[in-house]
A and B are shown apart, each in its own frame.
Chain A
């Protein structure tokens, strides 16, 4: 490979580039400039993460010492395949959603606010990449709050269209802060028991420790991250926050934010605590139950939502259930399924929310009634929505099928509280619920007549349509070419498991 100068800093670059770029954005002239800048930043960041994934894939895990201070005293960025995949995913979503954002943001956000909007987007990107990159548990908290604080502001910016965005952002802020504070409490307890904050070091020192302090720390951390990732009883902030945020924000967050939190949960459970930790089984059983409950409850609620954005937000909660289910199996296959679904679901939800964003731009509403007869009015958008909707259900040839297939495959080989066959049936049944709410959307768009005296509308602008269709094509492409998803996910899962359990299962 060609050796670029500064390549030794590669693990830090995806975090550093947007972090440095953000302050410049806020002083730019409102309008096109901040958008161009944000797009450029997202593309450069994406290139860096791709390169990083390539390096890690072929060269093994890499470690970067911030400022030359070595672990465990300094902050290190420890990048293995799991991080590299998640970082690449986040940056890729940014690289597609940022170009898409221009027209959508132009119509949804006051022109004077556009520099602030793109600044917040870039800071959010920094935070999410930072959470994925860092190997220091306290550093995780800092990046978590960097991304969360910018997210609260971004959600609130939806207030121009609907003032309920403000209350949604407020509730999100309260829940998110409680989650983050729980995480810090847990970390404090772990620090008390071990005297270190480095994740790998924590793992070494936690080995063999089984006392109340560590258990309490574990519980606080899992609950804290659970709040952030909208695990089922803790999901209440998500539907409104996603429902009322500006469309571009929803597309970006739905594709990235909860995925990064899932990754963090995996990191804590498998890398920091590990299988020797006796309390782990309790958490995995809880994930199993909560995952299944989430799959059904959230899908069921989604069926009855009339706001398409909220419907899809509830569907996101349900999909998080699948990911938790994969984690709860405690096997390489289960973890692989989770990672594959993290990747695939990001593609699905980005495409769906971008499609809804196109509709909001042209019709001005995300209510289901606005979608009536859309196939005749906005064919490109409609068929993109149909294809990604089918992907959400899990119909081949789309990535959704790969996710479900992997998850069922993993479920067959496990021995959990619930018999494997039942788990598989439950996954199938909840997919049927997905078919119901997606079917409702497709029916409205394709088979219903457009309302009488509906004004003729143009198709969405090219920039938005291109970005949307890139996502839709990715949805189909990664069905046929699974090297990147399944291949990397399997290796990442093996690496996470092998470091502790001799490549065996949890139970």
Chain B
């Protein structure tokens, strides 16, 4: 019982903050305090989203093991090829990355033989970026697409392989299924299949936190900041117009304005 409660401490933090925020919004008469209460309330949601995405022991979705920049390009290149194969429109971005991939591939060639790392975070991010998380190095550019397909098959047998080989749209629908756990938490389908160097082996062991909720919350934070700004600006204007930001005083004045208006038959200035 206690264990059950304690191991969900993150949700308790969320709920406590949420209720605190809502209580402040409803109980405080001062407009600025109301806005701050609203802020606390929103912050609880931010933490909620972050806690959904976080995986114990997981790290930020940054490629580890020393094969930084180039692989993004490679990943996008392979997907761009898939896109073309599937006779779908290839957006500008992969095409640009395409060019980058060429030079990066040349640089990385010979460093690592072939090594693959596949996870849900990547799948959620976007199919074009999905292979971006595969660390791989290829000797020659023309082989790239083929090799990438091979890697994916090895990395995630089953649906992911199918997904890569089928046309892009189909693949998109299949992809997340491969990595989704039934309890709603993401189980990362990451398997290192072939690792030649130690660095590659190290990279394969890394568990990535699901980045999507974090990205969503970045958006929500921007919205929250905008709301706070508008709210505080309104509080300033109310202070200018009424000379107070206490809600009961405002209500009294508004009531008087309405009552007076009814008697005088003209609008309040």
Contacts and interface: CB of A to CB of B under 8 A. Distances in A.
Whether A associates with B in a native complex is: yes
Interface of A: 67-74, 138, 141-142, 145, 149, 152-153, 156, 159, 161-164, 166-167, 169-170, 173-174, 177-178, 180-181, 184-185, 188, 191-197, 201, 213, 306, 364-365, 367, 369
Report which residue of B93, B168, B237 has the largest number of chain A beta carbons within 10 angstroms of its beta carbon.
B237
A164 B257 contact: yes
Interface of B: 18, 22, 25, 31, 34-35, 38, 41-42, 45, 48-49, 52, 88-91, 93, 120, 123-128, 168-169, 172-173, 175-176, 180, 184-186, 213, 216, 219-220, 223, 226-227, 230-231, 234-235, 237-238, 241-242, 250, 254, 257, 261-262, 265-268
B31 A73 contact: no
B227 A74 contact: no
B234 A152 contact: yes
B91 to A, nearest CB: 3
Contact of B230 (A67, A149, A194, A365): A149
16 contacts: A68-B90, A69-B127, A70-B88, A149-B230, A152-B230, A167-B250, A170-B31, A174-B25, A174-B231, A178-B38, A181-B42, A184-B45, A184-B220, A188-B49, A201-B173, A367-B267
B238 A167 contact: yes
Given A142-B219, A213-B184, A181 B126 contact: no
Contacts of B89: 68
A145 B226 contact: yes
B126 A142 contact: no
A367 B237 contact: no
Contacts of A153: 230
Contact of A170 (B41, B49, B238): B238
Q: Which of B120, B219, B226 has the most CB of A within 10 A?
A: B219
Given A167-B238, A174-B25, A174-B34, A70 B48 contact: no
Contacts of B128: 69
Nearest to A310: B258
CB-CB nearest 7 A-B residue pairs: A68-B91, A163-B241, A192-B184, A73-B126, A145-B223, A195-B180, A193-B184
Given A72-B172, A166-B234, A188-B48, A181 B41 contact: yes
Contacts of A161: 267
Nearest to B52: A192
B207 to A, nearest CB: 17
A71 B261 contact: no
Contact of A69 (B45, B126, B268): B126
Given A70-B127, A138-B219, 20 more contacts: A68-B89, A68-B90, A71-B173, A72-B176, A73-B125, A73-B126, A73-B172, A73-B176, A142-B223, A152-B234, A156-B234, A161-B267, A163-B242, A164-B257, A173-B230, A184-B49, A188-B52, A201-B173, A367-B261, A367-B267
Contacts, number: 131
Given A145-B227, A369-B265, A73 B123 contact: yes
A32 to B, nearest CB: 27
A162 B124 contact: no
A13 B180 CA distance: 35
Contacts of B49: 184, 188
A191 B128 CA distance: 21
A443 B126 CA distance: 62
A193 B182 CA distance: 8
Given A188-B49, A192-B184, A195-B176, A306 B262 contact: yes
Contacts of A67: 91, 93
Contacts of A180: 223
A207 to B, nearest CB: 13
Contacts of A181: 41-42, 45
Given A70-B127, A162-B268, A213-B184, A177 B238 contact: no
Given A73-B172, A201-B173, A159 B227 contact: no
Contacts of A166: 234, 237-238, 241-242
Nearest to B123: A73
Nearest to A161: B267
Given A153-B230, A164-B254, A170 B223 contact: no
Contacts of A141: 220, 223
Contacts of B186: 195
A74 B93 CA distance: 14
Contact of B172 (A71, A164, A213, A367): A71
Given A169-B234, A174-B25, A159 B241 contact: yes
B226 A185 contact: no
A149 B254 contact: no
B230 A162 contact: no
Contacts of B45: 181, 184-185, 188
A365 to B, nearest CB: 5
A68 B89 CA distance: 7
A73 B223 CA distance: 22
Contacts of A191: 52, 213
A365 B52 contact: no
Nearest to A372: B265
A367 B263 CA distance: 12
Contacts of B268: 162-164
A167 B242 CA distance: 10
Nearest to A451: B265
Most chain A beta-carbon contacts within 10 A, residue among B180, B186, B238: B238
